[in-house]
Structure 1
Amino acid sequence: MKKTSKPKNFFGKKNRLKLTTFLLLGVIIIGLASIVRWDIPASEVIKKHSYANSAFLPWKNSKIHYRRMGSGPSVVLIHGTSSSLHTWETWMDTLSKDFEVVALDLPGFGLTGPHPEGKYGIEDYSEAVFTLMDSLKIDQAAIAGNSLGGMIAWHMGQAHPDRVSQLILIDAVGFDRGDTTFTVLSLGKIPVIKEIFKYATPRFMIRNSLEDVYQNDSLITDELVDLYHDMVLREGNRKALVDRLNSPKTAKVKPDPQRLYMPILLMWGKTDRWVPLAHADSFQQSLPHAELKVYEAGHVPMEELGSLTAQDASIFLNTPENQPRTIFPQSDSLSVH
């Protein structure tokens, strides 16, 4: 009698393992597809988010995006990491009543896009700002900066005190106190993850990041999330961010009161998690003449409390004892220009 072969058991151990593997791969692929976002062409982002008075300065085979408003003594505004000159909208409207106000998108951010040479050190950023000032024939200006922009601001003042009349440092970076908080930017430093970071930046990640830097989450509108998301997705900006976060660290320079003698206003959000209020104390210890104002805000008080902080900045800049000095010591080897 002929033996009949047993039908294959497709749910046997080996087949179950294969099926499980394929299912897991499918879940991973679907998961990645749900968070991967491709770059948006620069022309598309520029068309959507440029202002009527936006201008672009040709620079090293690139173009620096900036806005210029008002007349009078010059004020230059420098944004922080993964931000743009849009962060200064209220400040520009307020300060331009008494001052010539200039804001720019730093290389690697906003509508400016990546640095053509991939350079993202503090000196490289300072050079870009000084180049813009030169092109606009601004010999001296008050410099205001938030976070990374604050660090650039005081480095500029320390390197060229003759060109910086006053400083406004808003939740500025500058002191390593060993209290670094893990943020979404920390992902850009982790091997493998940093490569995924160049492609996987879903909208919810941007919202979570904004909730991390704002104290009042009710101010985070869909339009604000879209703006930040579009700027991150602007072609080349994500790679530029990862490159900056992983750039070799240069020798640390501490604020020098002998060179940062100009009037200084420190503005800080009381609940800043990224650069806690204790950092303001460190600045005041190094720069005893600096004035400090603390706000019910997070890391970006000039966005959360735009009108209040802009008004305080205007009062500071207009106060007689805070006016620019007329005699300056010579810049030396600290020069970055």
Structure 2
Amino acid sequence: MVKFTLLLAFVGLAAAAPFKLNNGFPNPSPSAIAQIEKEAGGTLPNTPLPTSLKANAVQSLQVIAVNEIFEAAYFSSLLHNVTHNVDGYTDFDGLSRDYVIKSLTQIRAQEEMHALGANAILKSAGAKTIGSCNYMFPVTDFKSAITLAATFTDLVLGTLQNVNQGFALDGGQAAEGLVPLLDSIIGQEGEQDGAYRLIQRKVPSAAPFLTAAAGQFAFNAVDQLFIVPNSCPSSSNVSAIGIPAFKTLTLATSSEKPCSTKDTTLTFKTSESSVNGKHIAYISGQNKPVVVPVESVNGMEFKASFPFTKGFSKGLTVAALVNSAGPFMNAAEVANSTVAGPGLIEVD
């Protein structure tokens, strides 16, 4: 039996008051940038930035900026809770408080650097940069915060695969300047993810080939779970990115636990009002997405098989309610047919 959770199940937890970045980020002063670089353990790249990018590359960088600014806010909030001994954030399961504070300080600064880098590229290419919103974090203690961080980092790692492929296909300045840059970020996020898994007493590397994803899933996960509705000012340009809004997809109960060697059936809830005739697509590892029909529809609740033995990997599985039976060759094709999602399932 393996542990099985769905990220959106965290929504049921009580969330703290909305969090807003108030230190000038993501537009810090030069002195603030110098401090961020010091805390992050390195500087922003000083190689030439692209001056011309195709529309898809611009949209991908804007999605990256949305995610990185959210992560900067998330780790700022988590660091605040730890340093101020907020109830639930004083038990580190054997780790020293000083080590946790040092680690979170550096991780926060590294996410700030990623956001600054994405916006710097957008600005250099004459595209709209991304600003901050107000955020809500559905966690109540250090353990749940790390569990959640591991899951959205899994999604980031899957999304950056798709983005890098797009940069390579675009060619020109995107391929020359951005592919190696994103490779370095993928490695850095992987280092973080291994640490989050170790803190949870999991094997540090979940699977030989990590699950793919797409920008639509990353954007909708942040928008559905973490951005306070209607809190993004027009100057943030978040609404101008052009990513379609999906309906939500959650497990009806978080206690369902499929086995690594057996198949099972899951019960989902969705805010999509028309479910009959649709399918669930699962993206796991580097395999072709597995598509199954929805069953036992009861309003906006339904069941779907979870055929883990049909080509799944441990770690992240991305679930999506789609309007086609496929077949789909990759995560991008699933995203283009998605009406609700993502459901982010962790199998460990």
TM over 0.5: no
TM-score (norm 2): 0.25
| Structure whose alpha-carbon radius of gyration is higher | 1
